[in-house]
Amino acid sequence: MTSRPRAASDQDRFTAETERFRRELLAHCYRMVGSAHDAEDLVQETYLRAWRSYSGFEGRASLRSWLYKIATNVCLTALKPRPIRVLPSGLTGPYDGPDRPPSPVAAGEVSWLEPLPDAWIAPPADDPAAVVVERESLRLALIAGLQHLPSRQRAILILREVLAFSAAEIAEVLGTTPAAVKSGLQRARARLDELEPEPAELLEPTDRRARALLDGYIAAFERSDAGLLEQVLRTDATLEATPFRDWQAGRAMCVHILDAYVLGTPGDWRMIATAANGQPAAVVYHRDADGVLRADGAVVLAPTATGVSRVVKFHDPALAATFGFPDVLAH
């Protein structure tokens, strides 16, 4: 005897009850794996598994907790065979050798962290506190640090520090004990403190000072103006770009590398302002030999009250589409 197909009303009820959690689950999966597109796939798998077991959901936990349990375990399974995603600063110290243009790492040698468009996970605008928390928990520096934690410690830290789950709830999610959760949380916090002992106080991307810094950075590239870059960057600024291993520390070195090997001539670059990881960002276009402005990637800035403290450029033309922009810009 074959089982009766589940009624369309069951699917409708499932969608109505679970769809409102999709964006926060996407943010959760992104924190776990460091890739926007992988996070999308993992959320799809989460909903597929949830639907399959929905008829057995008995409401002993909240629906939200139940979905987070599924999503977290989907992520932990996915992470087992994968190398961690990193930024260049997670591989080595800043480059201080002979002057040379950046050279890329061989394709496939490193798994790179990816930016997350703010538009993908924006919470309701009528909850400003939730907006701030969401931004802070998605800063690039934090996401990069999280990737260096063992995956279960990463899950514990996110569930406790970001999502405010209790130790008992996390133990239920991970199939362990509250004591083990508390121990894992302590180790995770200590490791994050080693990686970034004093996190920078970043301006909110809606702060006019943050937008002024982004506008200045964009103008410096579009005008090929190294002097303007000096005004935008802090003296202790860092510059890194995937897929390059070498990265620079200090404004003088950052400006030199950009001026000598990147800026080119006025009009070579075009940038469109956006936001990623709760930070000001831009989708980047570069003019090719035929004069066509083609997608080149995205750049994310860390704005502070005294200037941009960190620039991370992601050289991946596909990011234009990820952020909702065309591959080619009209003249």
Does residue 128 surpass a pLDDT of 60?
no
Q: What is the pLDDT of residue 2?
A: 45
According to DSSP, the residues that pair with 239 across neighbouring strands are 248, 311
For 84-139+200-331, CATH number out of 3.10.450.50, 1.10.287.70, 3.30.1340.10, 3.30.160.270 equals: 3.10.450.50
Q: What is the pLDDT of residue 125?
A: 55
Q: Where are the domains of the chain?
A: 84-139+200-331
What CA–CA distance (Å, rounded) separates 289 from 268? Answer: 10
Confidence bin at 127 (pLDDT 50/70/90): low
SS3 at position 199: coil
Regarding pTM above 0.85, the answer is: yes
pLDDT tens digit sequence for 222-272: 999 999 999 999 999 999 999 999 999 999 999 999 999 999 999 999 999
pLDDT tens digit sequence for 295-330: 999 999 999 999 999 999 999 999 999 999 999 998
SS3 at position 309: strand
Q: Which two tokens stand for residue 7?
A: 């009624």
Residue given tokens 């959320």 in the structure block: 43
Q: What is the pLDDT of residue 200?
A: 78
What CA–CA distance (Å, rounded) separates 11 from 209? Answer: 47
Quickly count: other Cβ atoms within 10 Å of residue 242's Cβ: 22
What CA–CA distance (Å, rounded) separates 92 from 122? Answer: 33
Q: What is the pLDDT of residue 136?
A: 86
Q: What is the pLDDT of residue 248?
A: 97
pLDDT tens digit sequence for 129-160: 556 567 889 999 999 999 999 999 999 999 99
Does residue 1 surpass a pLDDT of 50?
no
Does residue 194 surpass a pLDDT of 50?
yes
Q: What is the pLDDT of residue 3?
A: 45
Q: What is the pLDDT of residue 78?
A: 96
According to DSSP, the residues that pair with 297 across neighbouring strands are 284
DSSP readout, 63-81? HHHHHHHHHHHHHHHHHTT
Q: What is the mean pLDDT of the chain?
A: 92
Confidence bin at 23 (pLDDT 50/70/90): very high
In degrees and rounded to multiples of 5, residue 318 shows phi and psi of -65, -15
As a whole number, mean pLDDT of residues 2-23 equals 76
Of 7-16, 202-211, 287-296, the poorest mean pLDDT is in: 7-16
What CA–CA distance (Å, rounded) separates 251 from 231? Answer: 10
Q: What is the pLDDT of residue 129?
A: 53
CB 70 within 8 A of CB 50: yes
Q: What is the pLDDT of residue 232?
A: 98
pLDDT tens digit sequence for 69-108: 999 999 999 999 889 999 999 999 999 989 998 889 988 8
Does residue 274 surpass a pLDDT of 60?
yes
Q: What is the pLDDT of residue 132?
A: 58
Residue given tokens 């002992």 in the structure block: 197
Is residue 202 classed exposed, middle or buried when 0-12, 13-18 and 19+ CB atoms within 10 A define those classes?
buried
Residues with Cβ within 8 Å of residue 319, at least 6 apart in sequence: 114, 115, 283, 295, 297, 298
Confidence bin at 331 (pLDDT 50/70/90): low
Q: What is the pLDDT of residue 53?
A: 87
Q: What is the pLDDT of residue 102?
A: 87
According to DSSP, the residues that pair with 283 across neighbouring strands are 272, 298
